[in-house]
Amino acid sequence: MTTNAITQHIAALAGIPQQPTAADQSQPTVPAGFRLAPVKVETGSVSTIAYLPCPTWCDEDHVIESVRAVEDVMHRQGGANVYVPTFGYGAYPVQLHAWIEADPVATNPDFRAAHISVSDKTGDEGAHITPDMAEKLADDLIGFASELRHMARTARQANAIGGAA
């Protein structure tokens, strides 16, 4: 057999491992309770899409909410809100917000685990509570709501009998 450019090329390729074909649909292993989700990473003028395991409870859009590094990805889910209206002169109504959150690269295991964050409109970090702490807070809020109903009845009765000035 004569040696030419084509046979030399084929011989050189003999040591390269076979590459996957388009028919190869293998995916990375994703732990139970997670899905592979796209994450947009923007560093300077470069934008890249990476795929990371994301908890199934997380409803954060990691493409719209881009990060500067993969380590900055936080997982969050929706939230509950309470707004206390006012007829007074307050700058804004009292507001309380709660949502589920997890920081997969936090050094504190409580922050790595799914937990509940509670904050007000001030923008301060607020409180981070475990599920057990959230159950206790919920019980306290039910008691608060009961007391609030009692105060509303008392104020309504006082106004009905002319107690308002």
**Confidence at residue 94, expressed as pLDDT on a 0 to 100 scale:** 86
Structural tokens at position 41: 């990473």
Residue 164 within any structural domain of the chain: yes
Beta carbons of 82 and 57 less than 8 angstroms apart? no
Alpha helices (H) along 2-130: 5-13, 109-112
Residue 140 within any structural domain of the chain: yes
Kindly report the three-state secondary structure assignment for every residue of 93-150: CEEEEEEEEECCCCCCHHHHCCEEEEEECCCCCCEEECHHHHHHHHHHHHHHHHHHHH
Residue 136 within any structural domain of the chain: yes
Beta carbons of 41 and 69 less than 8 angstroms apart? yes
Domain count, the chain: 1
Q: What is the pLDDT of residues 53-91, one digit of tens each?
A: 999 999 999 999 899 999 999 999 989 999 988 888 877
Residue 44 within any structural domain of the chain: no
How many other β-carbons are positioned within 10 Å of the β-carbon of residue 10?
9
d(CA 146, CA 45): 54
**Confidence at residue 14, expressed as pLDDT on a 0 to 100 scale:** 61
Supply the range of the domain harboring residue 165.
Answer: 131-165
Structural tokens at position 118: 């509670």
Q: What is the pLDDT of residues 119-156, one digit of tens each?
A: 987 778 889 999 999 999 999 999 999 999 999 999 99
Residue 162 within any structural domain of the chain: yes
pTM of the model: 0.74
Residue 160 within any structural domain of the chain: yes
